[in-house]
Amino acid sequence: MTTKYDIVKKEIKSRILDGTFQPFQKIPSESELMKQFGVSRHTVRAAIGELVNKGWLYREQGAGTFCADRSSDERLKSGVNQRNIAIITTFISDYIFPSIISGAEAYLSKQGYNVSLFSTNNEHENEKRVLEKILTEPFEGVIVEPTKSAISNPNINYYLNIERLNIPYIMVNAYYDELEPLSITMNDEKGGFIQTEHLIKLGHTNIAGFFKTDDLQGVKRMKGFIKAHRNNGLSINPNFIVTYNSSEKITKPLEELTKLLSLDRGVQPTAIVCYNDELAISLLDVLREKNIRVPEDLSLIGFDDSIMGILTEVKLTTISHPKSKMGEKAANMIVDLLKEKNGQSSKMVEQVNSVVFEPSLVIRNSTKELDITKLVNQ
């Protein structure tokens, strides 16, 4: 059970880590903290006393209690020689993430770095806990996949504090636009365009798109979907764009597909653009239950060229994703930044730039040319 003392101590510590309390800044008085937390003076004093003992705060006689400058913390400095790198992803063991992580790990291990893996499960509260750990322990650099990158992030201050402490970080798969960080991403908009135009060239005009829109990748892939329609002079049925968030990904897409399949045959979608291969495989289960054949009755295209896409009975047409190359490139970049920081390289920092991988179409057997005669007969 969490005690009031622990709550006060944790909250003060969080305010230090997210930059609310800056080094040498006076924190609220005991009386103010008592009001804020609804606790006794004894509880506040005990929490502050431990934080002073641990080097998070310091007292000045007659002046109050202040936030310590932890950038000069000898305990953190002593950890530099441990050569620790943190890798933070939304997931660790699912989908394409093991390939991205293994690419980064392999390179970092060769360079003599220890790697610590963290997962946010694509939740901001989990991201906050991980970032607090990064700021508390001696990590030299961070490779991070942003959490729900398409929506406002409550943890931006933690990243600003990481910058203040001069800890290099690289973002992969997406990035927080307001931070303008170094990043390694896919050209997701182009990928969504290629997915959709492939189906249009096969004669499909009733195309549904399913996109997870709390991540930047999904927003950009949807943008490519819309742009491909416009460039080919096709209107989009607004009901054919299905959006969902991370917490809905198990249920909403399947429910929405079922609704689309209940429409009259002449107005049903003849093809579906999927946010990724994982989603495409889930939708395949629904199509199978409805006795709808892929690609004979409906074409389906994924994204990411995951191993999952070739293990199904219908081999997915999809969009390439660098996966392990992305992880390796992120590791290479973070090592270059650390060399710059430690004065071990003659390269100029400006030469370490963000990287965007270009997508390409991988054609298998989940898409085919639309059978016009079948539509006429309907």
Q: For the chain, which domains are there?
A: 4-72 (1.10.10.10), 75-181+324-358 (3.40.50.2300), 188-321+362-377 (3.40.50.2300)
pLDDT of residue 79: 46
Question: How confident is residue 348, by pLDDT bands cut at 50, 70 and 90?
Answer: very low
Q: What percent of the chain has pLDDT over 70?
A: 93
For range 241-255, the mean pLDDT: 96
Q: What distance in Å separates the CA atoms of residue 344 and residue 329, rounded to the nearest whole number?
A: 19
> pTM here?
0.85
pLDDT at 73 exceeding the cut of 60: no
Tell me the pLDDT band of 324, cut-offs 50, 70 and 90: very high
**3-state percent helix, strand, coil for the chain, nearest multiple of 5:** 45, 15, 40
Q: Which two tokens stand for residue 242?
A: 């299905």
Q: What is the reported pLDDT for 266?
A: 82
Q: What is the mean pLDDT of residues 26-44?
A: 92
pLDDT in tens, 282-320: 999 999 999 999 999 999 999 999 998 998 889 999 999
Distance CA 247, CA 121 (A): 10
Mention every residue, 6+ apart, whose C-beta is less than 8 A from residue 130.
86, 88, 118, 120
251 by DSSP, 3-state: which?
A: coil
Over residues 160-193, the pLDDT tens digits come to 999 988 999 999 999 999 999 999 999 999 999 9
**Would you place residue 93 in the very low, low, confident or very high pLDDT band (cuts 50, 70, 90)?**
confident
pLDDT at 75: 44
228 and 192 Cβ atoms separated by less than 8 Å: yes
* pLDDT band per the 50, 70, 90 thresholds, residue 2: confident
Give dist(CA 107, CA 116) in Å, integer: 14
pLDDT confidence band for 81 (50 / 70 / 90): low
- State the virtual CA torsion across 211, 186, 246, 135 in degrees, nearest 10: -160
Q: What pLDDT, on the 0 to 100 scale, is given for residue 82? A: 65
